[in-house]
Amino acid sequence: MNALSPSPTIEKSGSAAPAPPLALLAELTHRCPLQCPYCSNPVELERSGAELDTATWKRVLEEAVGLGVLQVHFSGGEPTVRKDLADLVKHAAKLGCYTNLITSGVLLDPARLKELYDAGLDHVQLSFQDTDVESAERIGNLAGAQKRKMEIARQIREAGFPLTVNAVVHRHNLSRLEEMIQLALDLDAERLEVAHVQYYGWALKNRASLLPTREQLDNATSVVNEARVRLKGRLMIDYVIPDYYAKRPKSCMGGWGRQFLNISPAGKVLPCHAAESITGLEFDSVRDKPLGEIWRSSPAFQAYRGTDWMPETCRTCERKEIDWGGCRCQAFALTGKADAVDPACGLSPFHDEIFALAEREAGAAPPPFIYRRIGGA
């Protein structure tokens, strides 16, 4: 399949002022001890020397709250690499934000957890690669990680934090989905997020190895539906399905530039986690402009905000203000045009071709994982 164009077509959407964003994903660093092949971070990672310093992050948090942000999610890479994490959590908590830590857990210990608890952290989201130790450590490419995760999960609960278990699923671990649900129960988690891999950034390089068959997906959906009924009131289960077997696109981030802000380790302000994958868009930095100005008038945020940018197929669709055109990053990755109809939609002229290719990949023997090699990051 050939890309249609090397760069996106950028059009301004409507001029009406956007509503305030609800949440900020603060990507403190791209450094991480794991090398998960489904990583959604950009192909080109930011080096530690390019990361925003503590004072700049505090200013950004103040500007975010002034803009209307209610939730701050500290992420990475692995956010616990940052020695100033507790200081940033404390600042966000003082500003009145709900704070969430998204972590692999392998660098945490009871002393660090107490520091974060005292700083005002509200919630911890802990990732697991599998329930099988050998498989989990092959996926994350880090020996000893599974044992450490099990220890820290219990320490998280002992420290008094609510716990979400984040299980990223694909063809290598879907057969153990029932075990993952049981793991969340055993760890006294309040919430389990079963998230099929989304194929952007580095994950797109590993699609042929990770993509499940339709049969695997259907079975997983049945397992989740049964567990939701059986465990209602005991464990909340969120379920994120892959776009590759969809007929209609998802409302990606609630629509481009409508509800969500992402700030990269170097300070670029993005409408979504994967937005930098769209070459041809230039993203403003909090080093250069106030956050509010970027949110309201940045050309990159205006490009696909609202409905004016949409191709005719989307613009006349009754779902245009439900799914907001689907995912721009996926459209660009699969067609070469960010303003194309999302190929996840059955109305896209590329839907059948792209999804037939995906089914062929899922039906073949999986190739070896392609791991990042980022020495010195």
Tokens of 116: 């974060």
314 belongs to an annotated ligand binding site = no
Q: Which residues touch 70 (CB under 8 Å, ≥6 apart)? A: 22, 23, 97, 98
Q: Classify residue 236 by burial, with Cβ atoms within 10 Å: 0-12, 13-18, 19+.
A: middle
Beta strands 191-196 and 123-128 are unpaired
Q: What is the pLDDT of residues 80-112, one digit of tens each?
A: 999 999 999 999 999 999 999 999 999 999 999
Dihedral of CA 74/34/365/44: which sign? positive
Q: Kindly list the distances between the CA atom of residue 87 and the CA atoms of 59, 82, 213, 241, 283, in Å, as whole numbers in the listed order.
A: 13, 10, 45, 36, 27
Q: Is 32 annotated as a binding residue?
A: yes
**Could you say which residues of the chain have pLDDT below 50?**
1-15, 374-377
Contacting residues for 236 by C-beta, under 8 A, at least 6 apart: 190, 191, 192
Please give the Cα distance from 275 to 253 (Å, whole number). Answer: 11
Q: Two tokens at 311? A: 């191709």
- Terminal CA-CA length for the chain: 33
Q: Give the Cα-Cα-Cα angle 377, 276, 250 (nearest 5 degrees).
A: 120
Look at residue 2 in the predicted model and tell me its pLDDT.
33
Which residues have CB under 8 Å from 193's CB, separation 6+?
A: 125, 164, 165, 166, 167, 237, 238, 240
> How many whole angstroms separate alpha carbon 26 and alpha carbon 335?
29
pTM score over 0.75 = yes
Q: Which two tokens stand for residue 98?
A: 């709900």
The strands making up 236-240's β-sheet, listed across from edge to edge, are: 236-240, 191-196, 163-169, 123-128, 98-103, 71-75, 23-27, 260-263, 269-270
| Single-letter residue type at 365 | A
For residue 23, list its beta bridge partners. 71, 260
Paired residues of 166 in beta bridges? 127, 193
345 is in an annotated binding site: no
What pLDDT does residue 354 have?
A: 83
DSSP per residue over 238-282, as a string? EEE--GGG-SS---GGGSTTTSEEEE-TT-BEESSTTGGGSTT--
Q: Which residues, at least 6 apart from 39, have a Cβ–Cβ distance to it below 8 Å? A: 32, 201, 202, 203, 372
d(CA 156, CA 32): 20
Domains of the chain, each with CATH number or no CATH: 19-376 (3.20.20.70)
